[in-house]
Structure formats: C-alpha cells, structure tokens
Chains A and B, each alone.
Chain A
Amino acid sequence: MEITTRDLLTVLHGMGFGALFMLAFSGALAELYRISAPGAPSSMSTREQGLLAFYLAAMVILAWLTVFSGAYLIYPWYRAVPPAGLTDLSDYPRRLLLSSGKTSEWHNVGMEWKEHVAWVAPIAMTMVAYVAMKYRRSIAQHRNMRVAVLTFAVAAFLATGVAGTFGAFLNKYAPVRGGAVITLMQGK
C-alpha cells in the first residue's frame, strides 16, 4: 500500500480539513439557530459558551487551513506547465483536462469556480464566530444581526459545498499525482 506525498497532501486538504469543516456545519447551524431564535433559553452556561466558542474557533481554523493548503500546496501542482512536446499529461491535471472538449469544462467551470468561491467560507465563518462569541445569547435581541449571521453561515456552507463537490470530481478526472512515494504497508 503506497501513497505519494502529493496524494497525501491532497487528501489532507480535501478530507482532513475541507470535509471536516463541511461536517461541522450541521452542528454550527443548529446551535446558532438555537441560541439566537426567539424563545430560546435566556442564558447560556459557562460550559455551553466555552463549547460553542471552541467549536466555532475550530471551524474557522479548518476553513483557513483548507483554503490556504488548497491554494498554496495543491493548486501549484494542479496548474503546473508540462515541458514542450510532452504527450503524457497525467502529471499535469489542468493541461490534461483542457486537452479534451469532453473534460475542459471541469477546469473552465469547476476549478475556476471552486478556487475563488471557496474563500467566501473562511471570511464568512470568521465573522460568524466573532459575532457569536462577542454577543452570545444576547444576539437574540438583535434580529437583523441574527439574520446576517445565519445568512453568512449558510453562504459559507454553500460555498464549501461547491468547492468540495468540484474538488472531488476534479480529483477523479485529473488527480494531482507525483512526489515521493510513501509505503504504508507491504503486500505478501
């Protein structure tokens, strides 16, 4: 069982950071709605406040790790330019996709959309975490602030969904390959 360093870092970006961030949304949205909805309990215990702060801070860290690892570790390998005359483009995902009309839109629409829209998520979630931690339960007294926090949280979720979905498809049609080989297990 072998894996290359590029494969490993791509998995870390997509599954380690991105998917974990995506999974955390259900809990965050439910909790943000619970603390901010009219009729919710008028106070939060110190433990509840600490847990929410930790949860949202972890989401913010995951969101930034996802976009920075994607842009500055994986993307340069994805968009690398092959030497002139090379016919096997399997190590050059962008050029591989663009080499055929059957796959070019995975880059022109999928990657072009993903690489930009993904950055909405960390910006939005940083704001959501800041407002939720600063106002805590009293956010229920600010209807418009509550609406903004939930709207930006949903926008972050949708942006992450777009980036994650296209990331999975792009990695299927033109995976980032190469780098040093790491042997995880030896077969018999």
Chain B
Amino acid sequence: MSAIRAGQDPEGIPNGPGAAAILGAGIGCGALGCLAFAGDASPAVGKLLNFYNPVGTLSGVTTVTIIVWLASWFALGRLWGNKNIAMGAVNIVAFASLAIGLLLTFPPFMDLLQGK
C-alpha cells in the first residue's frame, strides 16, 4: 500500500485518517471471525478466551477483537494521519477482512472448515 503525500482533498483533509478507520474496521471484523473460529475449533483456545465465566469464550473473542480493532485503527491513524493513501488497496484488504469475519462467524462454514 503506497502512500503519496501530494494531492489533498478540496477541503484539505487527507484521506489517511479515513483509510485508517476503514482498514481498522476491516481488521477488527477479520479478527472477530478468526477468534470465533479458533475458539470453536480448539478447546484449548476456547478455554484461553474464557475471560469471564458466565459469558464463556465469547467474552475473550469480543474483548480481543475490540483491542485488535482499536489498536490497528490507532496505529494506522498514526502512520497515515497526514497522508493520502491508495484507497483502492485499502478497500481490497478491508473488504477481504470483512468477508473473512462474516464467513468465519457462520457456524456451517466453521463446521465445513473443521470437516464436521
């Protein structure tokens, strides 16, 4: 993903902060799917993600997802805050992560991957 400094938008706001938020949201959704799948496929991971017993594995899945989402948004925001970014590439990665998140939270797809 190449960053180019030239060419800010007409109102003077570079697209970097928006790109960071979009990619951060994509990464967060992807993390949600991966963690949900890992917690379902591996009893050891499921136990590790059991942060709060009444809620079970879901507590760890969602807590780690929120941390990954906010951390990636913050890091990308620091990196791209004053820049204009190639948004096409950002969108491809964000949409792929979103698709992973949606697919890996769908139980029949999880079962298919686990050969159940």
Q: Given known contacts A127-B21, A135-B18, A138-B9, is B91 in contact with A144 (CB within 8 Å)?
A: yes
Residues in A whose Cβ lies below 8 Å from that of B15? 142, 145
Residues in A whose Cβ lies below 8 Å from that of B98? 120, 124, 151-152, 155
> Does any Cβ of B come within 8 Å of A91's Cβ?
no
A116-146: contact bitstring with B at CB < 8 Å (1 yes, 0 no)? 1101100110110011001100110110110
Residues in A whose Cβ lies below 8 Å from that of B13? 134-135, 138
How far is A176 from B38 in the complex, measured between Cα atoms in Å?
A: 28
User: Do residues A113 and B19 form an inter-chain contact, with CB atoms below 8 A?
Assistant: no
Q: Given known contacts A120-B102, A152-B98, is B18 in contact with A134 (CB within 8 Å)?
A: yes
Q: Which of A105-119 contact B (CB under 8 A)?
A: 108-109, 112-113, 115-117, 119
User: Do residues A152 and B22 form an inter-chain contact, with CB atoms below 8 A?
Assistant: yes
When A and B form their complex, what is the total count of cross-chain residue pairs whose Cβ atoms lie within 8 Å?
A: 107
Residues in B whose Cβ lies below 8 Å from that of A33? none
Q: Given known contacts A71-B58, A119-B32, A135-B18, is B9 in contact with A127 (CB within 8 Å)?
A: no
Which residue of A67, A127, A144, A159 is within 8 Å of B90 (Cβ)?
A144
How far is A158 from B55 in the complex, measured between Cα atoms in Å?
A: 24
> Does any Cβ of A come within 8 Å of B10's Cβ?
yes
User: Do residues A117 and B106 form an inter-chain contact, with CB atoms below 8 A?
Assistant: yes
How far is A127 from B15 in the complex, measured between Cα atoms in Å?
A: 14
> Which of B21, B61, B102, B108 has most chain A Cβ within 10 Å?
B21
Residue of A nearest to B56 (CB): A79
User: Do residues B55 and A141 form an inter-chain contact, with CB atoms below 8 A?
Assistant: no
> Does any Cβ of B come within 8 Å of A148's Cβ?
yes
User: Do residues B24 and A127 form an inter-chain contact, with CB atoms below 8 A?
Assistant: yes
Question: In the complex, how many angstroms separate the beta carbon of A183 from the nearest chain B beta carbon?
Answer: 28
User: Do residues A124 and B29 form an inter-chain contact, with CB atoms below 8 A?
Assistant: yes
Q: Which of B1-33 contact A (CB under 8 A)?
A: 9-11, 13, 15, 17-19, 21-22, 24-25, 28-29, 32-33
User: Do residues A138 and B11 form an inter-chain contact, with CB atoms below 8 A?
Assistant: yes
How far is A34 from B55 in the complex, measured between Cα atoms in Å?
A: 41
Residues in A whose Cβ lies below 8 Å from that of B10? 138, 141
For this complex, 21 residue pairs linking A to B, each with C-beta atoms less than 8 Å apart, are: A67-B62, A75-B54, A75-B55, A76-B54, A79-B56, A108-B107, A109-B107, A112-B40, A113-B105, A116-B33, A120-B32, A120-B105, A123-B25, A123-B32, A131-B21, A135-B18, A145-B15, A145-B18, A148-B95, A152-B22, A155-B98
Binding site for B on A (CB under 8 A): 67, 71-72, 75-76, 79, 108-109, 112-113, 115-117, 119-120, 123-124, 126-127, 130-131, 134-135, 138-139, 141-142, 144-145, 147-149, 151-152, 155, 159
